[in-house]
Homo-oligomer: A and B are copies of this chain.
Amino acid sequence: MKLATLKNNTRDGQLVVVSKDLTRYCSADNIAPTLQAALDDWAQCAPKLAALYRDVEHQVVPCERFHEHDAHSPLPRAYQWADGSAYINHVELVRKARGAEVPESFYNDPLMYQGGSDAFLAPRDPIPLGDPKWGCDMEGEVAVITDDVPAGISERDAAKHIKLVMLVNDVSLRGLIPGELAKGFGFFQSKPPSAFSPVCVTPDELGDAWKDNLIHLPLIVDYNGEAFGRANAGADATFSLAKLVSHAAKTRPLCAGSIIGSGTVSNQDENGGAGKPVNEGGLGYSCIAEIRMIETIRDGEAKTPFMVAGDTVKVEMLDREGQSIFGAIDQTVEGV
């Protein structure tokens, strides 16, 4: 099934069931008022939501026209947002640009940071930017929402707790990252609010594209209207999304509604090298930092600037019939 949260002037919005083709919706108010409420009681709510989804698909319930720009992020605020780094190519690129090795442990112990989850952006909201020097970047990623996950769970059992899947633009302020990481406590000011796709879906909606707890489809990232990234989220993943859930739950349980991210989707070239830009026949990048690394490695200096007011980023994923699965994150940077 497909779910969304419509803006309704409340903090948590209104839960709706959306048709597979994203054209219609029906309120889920009589099942759960919000997505968090549904996740809090998922075993009871999920079958009812699935039944309503069947009715929406068969057009046997009254539906309204679904407009992606009316949607908030599926969880407008969440109790947890933890972002991993499944695509080690991204990490290798960052390190290569500054001549550093990737520690061996990174290949079996995922990187993960605790992100701010108290106030996400809606998928069509502007990205507010206080200072262009902060180096605003997008990061196109996949994310999952879990139900309650017990502490110490295995990767295999963690897979059963992945209830919903969506896309994310993990906004990053690259100019603030070096100073903040040097302090040793991880990201904070360098990770302003992220935005999620207008629609989240149960893994079964992905058909055989959902395999080994990854989505085997290209993540479409367009920057200022041009193709920027087409990396396949099923390729070059060192860790599955289930592994990341298991990593997050090693020493503590995860509350229903926890969002776990994949990290920036990133593919190597066919020959195992760092990927080429889309306009040179490559799969491109899901963030600006990567193309800047490629430029630094190749030309000695980064040429592509970070985002400034007016720049636009679109993140989307199409099924094998070319239909948008999650709707599009489509944001414009706005000076504040």
Contacts and interface: CB of A to CB of B under 8 A. Distances in A.
B187 A114 contact: yes
A80 interface: yes
Contacts of A130: 151-152, 251
B183 A111 contact: yes
A13 interface: no
A186 B184 CA distance: 6
A333 interface: no
Interface string A97-110: 00000010110010
A137 to B, nearest CB: 13
A252 interface: yes
A155 to B, nearest CB: 15
Contact of A80 (B117, B152, B191, B251): B117
Contacts of A40: 11
Interface stretch (A157-165, A217-225, A253-261): A253-261
A106 B185 CA distance: 12
Nearest to A77: B79
Contacts of A277: none
A33 to B, nearest CB: 13
Interface string A161-194: 0000000000001001000010111111111110
B82 A188 contact: yes
A116 B247 CA distance: 14
A128 B151 contact: yes
A109 B79 CA distance: 27
B188 A185 contact: no
A119 B78 contact: no
Contacts of A247: 189
A80 B118 contact: yes
A114 B114 contact: yes
9 contacts: A82-B188, A106-B183, A109-B183, A111-B183, A114-B114, A114-B191, A118-B258, A181-B184, A193-B253
